[in-house]
Amino acid sequence: MSPNTLDPNTPVPSAEALRNEMFEKRRAATELENKNRNSRQDELSKFADEFFNQHVGEKERATIRNLVTRALKDGKMEALVYSFPSDFCSDSGRAINSGDPDWPQTLQGKAKELYDRFKEVAQPQGYRLKAMVINFPGGVPGDIGFYLNWEPPAS
């Protein structure tokens, strides 16, 4: 008998057994969902701690260089080099989202450090930095992206 063929002699499970099986499947799915949510929350908590309490490290600078190199190889003139939750801005990303020219004043932590480094090192070399909201979960600003651009100035 093939595994897909039902044995006519197999007893019919009770309705309670079917309900229990369905309940157990739902419980397992909920447990997995909770575990994944907790894992994401732990990752965000760790990221927030590093974002606000540590400096930009060599690993992050190397990642930015790699992203720029990859964009250049792909013939692009811009690269998304850093992202962080909009809640990490002092105004939850509102100034960036509305194009307020004073948006840099809302930056905190590593974002502020990266912006200051851009102003000191990259901008004098002809680079531009664009900050924008890159997603809108539930219709509200989600993550902020820093885009480094090296296009020639528009004439």
Q: Would you give per-residue pLDDT tens digits along the chain (155 residues)?
A: 555 677 888 888 889 988 999 999 999 999 998 888 888 888 989 989 999 999 999 999 999 999 999 999 999 999 999 999 999 999 999 999 999 999 999 999 999 999 999 999 999 999 999 999 999 999 889 999 999 999 998 77
For residue 5, the 8-state DSSP code is S
How many domains, the chain? 2
Of the candidates 123, 109, 57, the one whose C-alpha atom is nearest the C-alpha of residue 144 is 109
Residues forming a β-bridge with 41: none
For residue 119, the 8-state DSSP code is I
Q: Are 99 and 50 found together in one domain?
A: no
Q: Are 67 and 131 found together in one domain?
A: yes
| Residue 130: φ, ψ to 5° | -120, 130
Q: Are 72 and 127 found together in one domain?
A: yes
Q: Are 49 and 76 found together in one domain?
A: no
- CB count within 10 Å of CB 12 equals 7
Q: Are 23 and 73 found together in one domain?
A: no
Q: Is residue 3 part of a domain?
A: no
Q: Are 45 and 93 found together in one domain?
A: no
Structural domain that includes position 97: 58-149
Percentage helix, strand, coil, to 5, in the chain?
55, 15, 30
**Single pTM value for the model:** 0.76
- What single letter denotes the amino acid at residue 59? K
